[in-house]
Amino acid sequence: MPFISKPISQVFHHLPRRRLLTIGVASAGALLATAPTIAQTIEARQWQGAAAVTRQPEHVVASTVAEWRSLWSRVGSPPPDMFEAGRMNAVGIFLGRRASEGYAVNVLSTARRRDRIVVVFEERMPMEQMMAQRTAPRPVSSAPPPPSSPSSPFQSGAAGFAAPSAAASLPPPPVRPMSHPTSPWAIILINRADLPVSVEQRLFR
């Protein structure tokens, strides 16, 4: 009886389809197991303002009705009648005293990360303050200026100094109108109480 060989491709096509499907599902499960954990957005409601009674910077988490009322006592307003103990958590963010207007709490996200809920916020500030932080100070040369002649008491272009004529032509710095001190705040009501809550501040860059 003669020996008949089959090509490898034909043998592969005769494999049961169920086995191929099982292999595909197992591969997909392995990829999901190794994928990084993605933050899950949590439903929340927030209030904010710029004139809290408290002038101390702090982050406070409330999980009871008494703590919810204590948060609003820091603001100086009656608490909304919507907190449900055992089903909700709340976070109060108080920036403390600021010298002028233009500061605020900007809540960026409220999301679940692994085994906790994280509230991320940043501090908004006046535009000139933001620009001042972005602008790095210019280095000034500490070398002594060259000696000047008796007939010329100022040397134009001396290291670290501008000529008198150039200094006179510079525009005066803008003057910000006087404003009252503020104390920005925000309160976030989270519709979950089964996970611990933490607060993170994103620094301005």
* pLDDT tens track for 137-188: 555 444 444 554 444 444 433 443 344 444 445 555 555 556 789 999 999 9
Q: Cα dist. 178→124, 125, 134, 171 in Å? A: 19, 16, 23, 21
How large is the average pLDDT for residues 41-56?
95
Structure tokens at 100: 């002028």
For residue 90, the enclosing domain spans 43-129+182-201
CA 29 – CA 82 distance, rounded (Å): 42
Give 127's pLDDT tier (boundaries 50, 70, 90). confident
Q: What angle do CA 136, 200, 50 make, to 5 degrees?
A: 75
Whether 28 maps to a domain, the answer reads: no
Number of domains in the chain: 1
The length of the chain in residues reads 205
Domain-embedded: residue 111:
yes
* Helix ranges (DSSP H) in the chain: 8-13, 17-34, 65-75, 127-134, 164-169
**How far, in Å, CA of 144 to CA of 159, rounded?**
7
Domain membership of residue 13 (yes or no) is no
Is 18 inside a domain boundary? Answer: no
pLDDT at 83: 98
Q: Do the domain assignments include residue 124? A: yes
The pLDDT of residue 204 is above 60: yes
